[in-house]
Structure 1
Amino acid sequence: MSVHLKQEEFRLRQEKRKIALKRAKELKARITDYLENKDQIKNGFEVQEQYNRAKQTLLNFFNADNEQWENWHWQMANRIKDVKVISQLIDLSPAEKEAIEKVGRQYRWAVSPYYMALAMVSGSGGPVWLQAIPCIEEVKDRYGVEDPMGEEYTSPVEGVTRRYPDRLIINVTNQCAMYCRHCQRRRNIGEIDVHKSRKVLEGALQYIRENKEIRDVLITGGDALLLSDRQIEWLLTELDNIPHVEIKRLGTRTPVTMPQRITPELCKILENHPPIYINTQFNHPLEVTPEAKKACDMLVKAGVVLGNQAVLLKNINNQPDVMKRLNQSLLTIRVRPYYIFHAKAVKGTRHFITGVDDGIAIMEQLRGYTSGLAVPTYIINAPNGYGKTPVLPQYIIENKNDQVTLRTWEKRIIPYNISGKH
């Protein structure tokens, strides 16, 4: 190669490097604001000192030890459901006490000690507190409906909800470790915890056997993992014995609200019934704790595939940086962000509902700004049981023959010939 060609090649490399450095500088500038805000959006790993203090307060109150704390049966037996208990754990104003008591007369509530410790760290009115503790807005709601998804109209047999051609839900219990204030099925909570009877579950299984197009079964509630180990094993075995059922899914919030439920015994059962997918519901980075990580690690080791279905909630996670921090934190504990659900207009929960613009703004600040693994699908559930509808920012400006005009994640308008012709 001649000296002239070598010099020209060197010049071109230098020019390309200059362009690359300029581009890198642009990209770095796009994340500066988030990096500045990130330190103010704590995840559960970053508040361990405060959490441990709150945990000790609860242990002292219940006169319990750490061994009891780690037992999920103890957690369930000691769910907090009385404002007098909360008043001894954290200072409440008279108005706050009155609101909790008033809501409690209309809507049931209960919080596991574990999640109560996180709520105490969050503080009254904080993002974890709002999910767990009743507020007066619940009884002011005059427009919400009890069953916005029409589940009672999409139940071909008792215990089954069917909204899609090849999959369905078995609703196995109304019990939860915590009754989330934004719950879409609060109409089912009632006054006592009730698992579905064996007769109802056998009827649901028979329906699946008779409908060979059903290849995917979601076991949910309430919380599917609040069934006993024996009941879970029986149900999974029955589903394994139906040839056309390819996968089982479990809907549970226990990794978030009571990670102590994830025991070696439970994981052994799950390991024996692959493939199993678990979708859980982390809604704020504070919920991503070392205890949640331990539970998720055990599930992953058992061969379970983990996904997260966050709910978009006003004053909890309807800011792009909060959702970004949540999704990035989830990936570190091997939970894949799967959906962001727009909150449904369930009676007593409308104070949580945001505008769709909030969801779109979040998606705009995820796509391109973070790993695609951290970008879930934003979903609005169509009313009356007509299913999930994805909602996306508009990225195709024009589509004409082989020529499309794209808007990139940086809002650059770029023509693109899909045939590759020029």
Structure 2
Amino acid sequence: LEEVEGELDDPIADHEFSPVPRLTHRHADRVLLFPTYQCAVYCRFCFRKESLTAIGRGYTHEALEPALAYIADHPEIREVILTGGDPLSLPDKALAEIFARIEAIPHVRLLRIHTRVPVVLPSRITSGLVAALQGRLMVTVVTHFNHAREITGATEVACRTLRQAGFVLLNQSVLLKGVNDSVETLEELCRELMYRLGVKPYYLHHGDLARGMAHRRTTIAQGQALTEALRARLSGICNPVYVLDLPEGGGKVPIGPCHVEGRDGKNWRLRGLDGEVRGYREIVGE
């Protein structure tokens, strides 16, 4: 309940980039679509917690019409990201209706679903849910595991169901002080995601400026040190990208450690994973 000066109600400027209700268009080729503002579980670090569970903010056909019309009218949009709220908290019938509407827009090629359901309600991942999300569109499911203790036999079954349906599985984690801010904890999480669940660690988020979360934010320097240590311990496929979602709509920017020590023309000095600095000369054709 303790707020700190500088924390924000809308840390990544969703509202500023919302041309119609229930849609955010921050990047040229993709949009966020909010079919519901309800979740299976509520995370206190959520950067959208000011918008969640408000009365009248569940799913209805009418509520989504302006957003779907906007997507249809903008041929540059290739990717629609279902978020919220948690889209997989909706019933199969609603998911099938949303999928069909988006699939009918010819220029949309990929549907991305951001969800914590495989973590907190894995029994929701059923054959009916999978069927509601299959068709022309490529489907990517982005899960949200923050600690290896969240990986159970039930979550393993849920992720296998999604994989076998042909969906691409990625994971976003939040770096949380006192929860997962050790290299051993993050290493175990990333290994188990990839090796046990078949889920690619995608992003490790620096804590957003959500209200009341100062006690769970690390410093950026601490996050950089952790991700540099991870890089030396894990294969590339197990490594997430450490990012900061900038206020005022600046988007996610990588803030991991830089291995460039210096440059003189085509001669570079780069720090290897063993800590040694080596020279590298660019050789390119005319």
TM-score band by shorter chain is: over 0.9
Task: Specify the alignment match of 1:243 in structure 2.
Answer: 106
Task: Specify the alignment match of 1:141 in structure 2.
Answer: 3
Paired residues of 2:177 and 2:217 also in contact (CA < 8 A): yes
From 198, 206, 231, the equivalent of 1:367 is 231
The TM-score, its normalising length taken from structure 2, stands at 0.95
Paired residues of 1:146 and 1:346 also in contact (CA < 8 A): yes
| SS class of match (2:75) | coil
Alignment of 1:165-176 (within 5 A): 165-176=28-39
Task: Specify the alignment match of 1:401 in structure 2.
Answer: 265
Q: Which has the higher strand share?
A: 2
Distance of aligned partners of 1:404 and 1:272 in 2 relative to their CA distance in 1, 3 Å threshold: same
Alignment of 1:234 with 2:97, yes or no, is yes
Q: What is the distance in 2 between the residues matched to 1:156 and 1:298? A: 36
Gaps in structure 1 of 5+ consecutive residues: 1-138
Paired residues of 2:119 and 2:155 also in contact (CA < 8 A): yes
From 281, 284, 308, the equivalent of 2:171 is 308
Q: What is the distance in 1 between the residues matched to 2:227 and 2:72? A: 40
Q: What is the distance in 2 between the residues matched to 1:340 and 1:353? A: 13
Q: What is the distance in 2 between the residues matched to 1:273 and 1:313? A: 38
Task: Specify the alignment match of 1:352 in structure 2.
Answer: 216
Alignment of 1:114-129 (within 5 A): none
Q: Which amino acid aligns with 1:168?
A: V
Task: Specify the alignment match of 2:188 in structure 1.
Answer: 325
Q: Which has the higher helix share?
A: 1
Alignment of 1:253 with 2:108, yes or no, is no
Question: Considering only aligned residues, what root-mean-square deviation do their CA atoms show, in Å?
Answer: 1.6
| SS class of match (2:20) | coil
| SS class of match (1:271) | coil
Task: Specify the alignment match of 1:412 in structure 2.
Answer: 276
Cα deviation for residue 193 of structure 1 reads 7.7
Q: What is the distance in 2 between the residues matched to 1:192 and 1:324? A: 40
Considering Cα pairs closer than 8 Å and 6+ residues apart, tell me whether 1 or 2 has the greater RCO.
Answer: 2
Paired residues of 1:270 and 1:304 also in contact (CA < 8 A): no
Alignment of 1:163 with 2:163, yes or no, is no
Alignment of 1:387-398 (within 5 A): 387-398=251-262
Task: Specify the alignment match of 2:129 in structure 1.
Answer: 266
Paired residues of 1:253 and 1:280 also in contact (CA < 8 A): yes
Q: State the structure with more CA Rg.
A: 1
Cα deviation for residue 230 of structure 1 reads 0.8
Q: Give CA deviations for 1:173-201 in whole Å, capped at 9, x if unaligned.
A: 11111111111111012465841431221
Q: What is the distance in 2 between the residues matched to 1:245 and 1:184? A: 27
Q: Which amino acid aligns with 1:320?
A: V
Gaps in structure 2 of 5+ consecutive residues: none
Cα deviation for residue 202 of structure 1 reads 1.4
Paired residues of 1:406 and 1:413 also in contact (CA < 8 A): yes
The TM-score, its normalising length taken from structure 1, stands at 0.65
Paired residues of 1:270 and 1:302 also in contact (CA < 8 A): no
Q: What is the distance in 2 between the residues matched to 1:274 and 1:302? A: 13
Q: What is the distance in 2 between the residues matched to 1:177 and 1:153? A: 27
Distance of aligned partners of 1:193 and 1:373 in 2 relative to their CA distance in 1, 3 Å threshold: farther
Task: Specify the alignment match of 1:98 in structure 2.
Answer: none
Q: Percentage identity across aligned positions? A: 35
Q: Which amino acid aligns with 1:187?
A: E
Paired residues of 2:38 and 2:53 also in contact (CA < 8 A): no
